[in-house]
Structure 1
C-alpha cells in the first residue's frame, strides 16, 4: 500500500530541464522546458551575410521552435542552418571567451622573476 504513494510522490517532484532562451524579440532569458523535453538547442541561420540565432528547448511537439522547422525555414531563405543540441542545465548558454594558453607564459615568467 505504501509503494503507490512513493511512486506518486516521485511523479510530482519531476524537475524540468532549464534552457537559455534567445530570440530577437525577448532577448536572453531562461525557461523551464515542458515535461518530456530533454534537450536544449542553439540554432544559427546564416543568410545574405546576416546570422540569426535562436536558443531554447528543442521541443519536437512545438514545431515552430524545433530544430527541424527552423532548419527548413532557414533553407527557404537560401540560408545555411546549424542546430546544436545538448542535455545539461543551461547548456546552450552564452559563449565563453577562451583564454589562449600562450598568454599565460609571459604572466608566469613575470611572476617567477
Structure 2
C-alpha cells in the first residue's frame, strides 16, 4: 500500500466491514458458498471463514501501522497548525519534570 492511499480510508471502510456482518449479507454469502461448495457448507463453516478474513485484516493492519504512522507524521509536519516536534517534546519533558518534582516534595 502506498502512503497516498491512506487518505482513502475512513468511516466508509468501517461501514463496509460492518455491512459484511449483517444477517442479510451473511445469508447471501452462505447461499453463494452453498451453490459452489454444496449443501454441506453451513453456517459453522461460513463463520470460520469470516473469522479467517477478520484475522487476515488484522494482520494486514498491523503490517501497515509503520507506514500509516509515517503518513500521519508527514501530514502533521505539512500542517501549519502542527508545532515543531522538538518544541512539543520539550513541553512534554517540562511537564514530566514538574510531575516528578511534585512527587518528591
Q: Which has the larger Rg?
A: 2
Q: Which has the higher contact order (CA 8 A, sep 6+)?
A: 2
Q: Give the TM-score range, shorter chain.
A: under 0.3
- TM-score normalised over the length of structure 2: 0.22
Greater share of strand residues, 1 or 2? 1
- TM-score normalised over the length of structure 1: 0.21
